Amino acid sequence: MPTRIKKAMLLAAGYGTRLKPLTDRTPKPLVPVAGRPMIEYALDKLRAYGIGEIVINVSHLKAQLVDYFAAEKKLRVTISEEAEPLETGGGLKKAAPFLGDEPVFAINSDILWTDDGDTALNRLAQTWDDAKMDFLLLAQSKSRAIGHDKGEDHLFIKPENTLGWNAADAPYIISGIGIFHPRVLRDAPDGKFSVKVLWLKALAENRLFCLPHHGRWFQTGTLEDIQRTEAELKRLKL
């Protein structure tokens, strides 16, 4: 029987330094993209999937995010507060008491995407195999991406751990959308660290897998990325 994911973690605690000066007064997740706070696009996908609860980590200008989510009616929201941003891995570890012991969606707050056919969240959930996976990351064809961080994506997305690898779509990048099991946090360090520390451990144990995305994908981490995303959303009439 396919896994039904009941909870999601939204990563929203960063300073958003690449979006300065906008993020001097507005936390990055609330910076508008095509007239809506960028985080709302991920929330729409989670609501459509049927998620009942989200955990969101906050730090920079956190009062605005706390107030924003206080008005949420459809989702039960748990706030994980950080005195200062703990990076992606540290944010997950700090939120561990709220995540339970079942697989969880993890989504970056500056990611927008469209679906072609079945939704990305459904596809991830249906592909999840708890017996052999600790992470299942959605992979995006780099040639069809708008905005992405230059990084070490090639270390994690390989033909041998990518389910449905298509050489014509390679190289792939990490989309900032996926499923993980909170058990990976039990022995994780406290304080600031990148989730890549956990990915590398899972990769070495053959417990990190990737799934190519079917659809469009946008990262809105810079003003240029937002402008390109807005133009493309307008073109797509979304």
Q: What is the mean pLDDT of each run of 10 residues along the chain (238 residues)?
A: 88 93 95 96 96 95 95 91 95 97 96 95 97 97 87 89 94 96 95 96 97 96 94 88
Per DSSP bridges, beta strands 145-146 and 135-141 are: unpaired
- First-to-last alpha carbon distance for the chain, in angstroms, is 33
What pLDDT is recorded for position 1?
Answer: 61
Q: Give me the number of domains the chain comprises.
A: 1
Tokens of 6: 């009941």
- 190-213 burial, b at 16+ Cβ within 10 Å, e below that, comes to eeebebbebbebbbeeebbbbbbb
Does the residue 1 lie in any domain?
no
Task: Judge whether 103 and 180 are in contact, CB under 8 Å.
Answer: yes
Collapsing DSSP to helix, strand or coil, 93 comes out as helix
- Which CATH number is 170's domain given? 3.90.550.10
Q: Nearest-CA neighbor of 14 among 36, 32, 33, 39? A: 39
Which residues of 181-234 form beta strands (DSSP E)?
208-212, 217-219
pLDDT value, residue 110: 94
Q: Which domain holds residue 142?
A: 7-236
**Residue 173 to residue 142: CA distance in whole angstroms:** 6
Half-sphere exposure of 177 (CA within 13 A, CB side): 30
What are the Cα distances from residue 61, in Å, to 24, 55, 119, 188? 9, 17, 32, 27
User: What's the farthest any 2 CA atoms get from each other in the chain?
Assistant: 48
The pLDDT assigned to 164 comes to 94
What distance in Å separates the CA atoms of residue 183 and residue 204, rounded to the nearest whole number?
Answer: 16
Distance separating alpha carbons of residues 8 and 191, to the nearest angstrom: 21
How much is the pLDDT for 99?
A: 97
Residue 60 one-letter amino acid: H
198 is a domain residue: yes
Is 2 part of any domain?
A: no
**Is residue 210 in a domain?**
yes
Which run of H or E residues covers position 231?
helix 223-236
Q: How many CB atoms lie within 10 A of CB 114?
A: 18
